[in-house]
Structure 1
């Protein structure tokens, strides 16, 4: 493997280590032992859940290609996953609010384990069923766990500001360190030990089973709307009304859809972007490098949140930077002559794109704890999982449309589209900050108005 990969990985590792070791008192928050125990339990479970997800990441595209499917076939498999997340997401989200978030988290584990098992079959129909199960699991991963955490945190009476500590730690470990180890472990299983590209999926199923056992033994159940009389349609109406009546929630949903839509499109595009002529690239090691970049971003986010900087403010800059990074493949395609040699090592243009992709992943690392913080502030508790999965409908629709037309557009066009959407997210984030400030100002004036008769 070329020195370039090690240099990038080593430089990122040094920066992350420096940030973590250099934390001052302003970057730390005093908490209680009860909260720390609760936080550590959640972070452990979340890390196991994410390890089950990250182990699969580097080899999904590669496994399908090894089974002999072309880019169009693989695109349709990806569409099945995002499509099922779109179709079933709101249903499973509402069931999580009504039937219990703990049960929903267990359902996630079972669904994803079954999805991993299907990867042993080269049959297209079986792989399609696996993608559908994976899509349902993804909806639960990005709604039920966070909903359980917020409700349990509030139920136990912990300081609301401490939520950002759990968010940052979970992302730093689950989306950072665990993802790096998962990428390297997947690379070890599939390539170094020669078990093949299906081995990481077997390992993922094992970690998911361990996490499920911890959830079943240590988590208590919590719910959204306590009313037993509300059916799914009633919950949908509550969620839709909340989104339609509060501009802040609608803006947050649009921002999340634009960013995550671009992010999931990137997951599909990075492999062909770095190896357009079937260059021999270390998929697992590159994936680990991306996750180290994400870890860097979450470390930056933890500092920003600890110092109570306005999330709505700095995220405008993050979205703008991410827009620039995904337009880089378009620029390099024009400025750097593409290689005409099949195979070989990564090209100069590919190296430039890899650096840009690492910057994008750092933005992803900042995004996760920051969007979680904003969701905890703006989304009402009674329909939290339902609303969060409503947000995923346009996101999954966007990704499905892109992947359906994957053979119709050059890869540079798709990157250009993602860049435009990220720039739009930056503009909407600016609007969210303005609306939030206006709401806080009007609320303060109302409180002053109510106090005036008491203070003549």
Structure 2
């Protein structure tokens, strides 16, 4: 128990200290800002706090549901294991299929409208949890799959498009720091959501209550979006030009950086989803291996471990924000840019998974898992920043959706092949480690030189990369 408490305390203190250091640095940067940029910096701050509350409400609604989906199906409704697996697989398949068209619709008819559609769709998915009928639950999983695709594409698309449309790239708020803040606060919301979810279940006596609480958050987010957000679009000229989605996809996939981002997204986030599925069993096994003489195994504090994982993720995201701030200040983007951070995060993730397989120790396994979670905290702002730089506004939501198609099928296939036992779990971690190693090599070879840095805003030119090959439209 001391292992888990000590690690949690160290990570929390480290996160708070690094966050305070970053806060003081940002405050000093504001004091040093030129008079002409003060108004733009204020606009950036206003925009940040227009988007962040909605983002946190949306992510909070997702975190509230996460811990209770399986136990609601299995324990409260008494569904068989194969039925539960079928429902989970249906959600991933729906997410993969919807990824082929929801992004295009959002680009064409508006990202703000798509964000509100997400709120309604996810709320309907939550309502289906009140029924124990298989058909109703299946409909709920299908709606949840569509909502997941929307959640991970349209909100980010709206934010990045507005960021550049308002010329906030000329302010002291970088896109990297925005993504870093989002990931950090998301970790805080995850911990709070766990506490709130457990409280409402204890008060109501039913595991459907977190889903009802999620509806409240979703409706609140929708009201804020409707009243405070303006609409933005992608390239709506495609339809008049007769350009099909198939030809658009072919044009998009000509850029090797998009393909590599898609591969990295698939293997990293796929490994993350599988890690979520296996980590508790892996720690149980490591605990038993490290204490073979103990007849009655002591309980593992899973709640504390989850909080520790979230603290690790926050520390990773804060470290990325601090690094990107230093890079922006010293103009050494080639050394501390998101592509290089991403490469390091994937490499460390590879090592953490493989070490947990090779060395059976409770302490080492736990620390490896914390390291993996820290890499997740680095990965998300890196990937968001890279997508924001590489993908143009015209097809942003479409490309973001396409990037999630292989991810969903990857997770479905591996979940369908899941078996009981340590040997299978070790094979899965080893397989994921191998794919992550390939992702490390590809990221180092193809992303580091072509995605770092932008033209100087003082030049008055639109943002593009050194090779001038930003994807903007399927031309």
TM-score if structure 1 supplies the norm length? 0.85
What do you get for the CA RMSD once the two structures are aligned? 2.9
1:37-86: CA deviation from partner (whole Å, max 9, x where unpaired): 11111011100000001112222233333133455433322211111110
Specify which of 181, 184, 190 is matched with residue 192 of structure 2.
181
Corresponding residue for 2:66? 57
Corresponding residue for 2:209? 199
Corresponding residue for 1:79? 89
The answer (yes or no) to whether the contact 2:316–2:376 under 8 Å persists in 1 is yes
Corresponding residue for 2:116? 106
Is 1:377 equivalent to 2:389 in the alignment?
Answer: yes
1:13 and 1:389 map into 2 onto residues whose CA distance is 34
Give, in angstroms, the shift of residue 216 of structure 1: 0.8
The answer (yes or no) to whether the contact 1:58–1:283 under 8 Å persists in 2 is no
The answer (yes or no) to whether the contact 2:389–2:451 under 8 Å persists in 1 is no
Distance 1:281 1:116, change over 3 A: farther
1:261-315: CA deviation from partner (whole Å, max 9, x where unpaired): 1112222223433446998555544333322221111111101111222222232
The answer (yes or no) to whether the contact 1:274–1:353 under 8 Å persists in 2 is yes
Corresponding residue for 2:131? 121
Give, in angstroms, the shift of residue 124 of structure 1: 3.2
- Secondary structure class of the residue paired with 1:102: helix
Is 1:225 equivalent to 2:235 in the alignment?
Answer: yes
Give, in angstroms, the shift of residue 229 of structure 1: 2.8
Specify which of 425, 435, 457 is matched with residue 411 of structure 1.
425
Corresponding residue for 1:340? none
Corresponding residue for 2:439? 425
Corresponding residue for 2:156? 146
Give, in angstroms, the shift of residue 25 of structure 1: 6.2
2:451 and 2:126 map into 1 onto residues whose CA distance is 46
2:116 and 2:429 map into 1 onto residues whose CA distance is 36
1:386 and 1:379 map into 2 onto residues whose CA distance is 10
Unaligned stretches of 5+ residues in structure 2: 31-39, 289-296, 328-335, 456-464, 469-475
1:95 and 1:437 map into 2 onto residues whose CA distance is 27
1:22-42: CA deviation from partner (whole Å, max 9, x where unpaired): 237656654611111111110
1:200 and 1:412 map into 2 onto residues whose CA distance is 33
Corresponding residue for 1:302? 321
1:99 and 1:149 map into 2 onto residues whose CA distance is 16
TM-score if structure 2 supplies the norm length? 0.82
Specify which of 325, 341, 348 is matched with residue 314 of structure 1.
341
The answer (yes or no) to whether the contact 2:90–2:142 under 8 Å persists in 1 is yes
1:163-189: CA deviation from partner (whole Å, max 9, x where unpaired): 22322222211x211111112222333
2:448 and 2:321 map into 1 onto residues whose CA distance is 24
1:240-270: CA deviation from partner (whole Å, max 9, x where unpaired): 3122x21122212211121111112222223
1:7 and 1:40 map into 2 onto residues whose CA distance is 34
1:5-33: CA deviation from partner (whole Å, max 9, x where unpaired): 43332222111111112237656654611
Specify which of 267, 270, 288 is matched with residue 258 of structure 1.
267
2:321 and 2:239 map into 1 onto residues whose CA distance is 41
Corresponding residue for 1:287? 306
Corresponding residue for 1:324? 351
Corresponding residue for 1:361? 373
1:344-380: CA deviation from partner (whole Å, max 9, x where unpaired): xxxxx3x543332222111111111111111111112
1:273 and 1:231 map into 2 onto residues whose CA distance is 54
**Greater displacement, 399-408 / 140-149:** 399-408
**Greater displacement, 60-69 / 135-144:** 60-69
1:358 and 1:208 map into 2 onto residues whose CA distance is 30
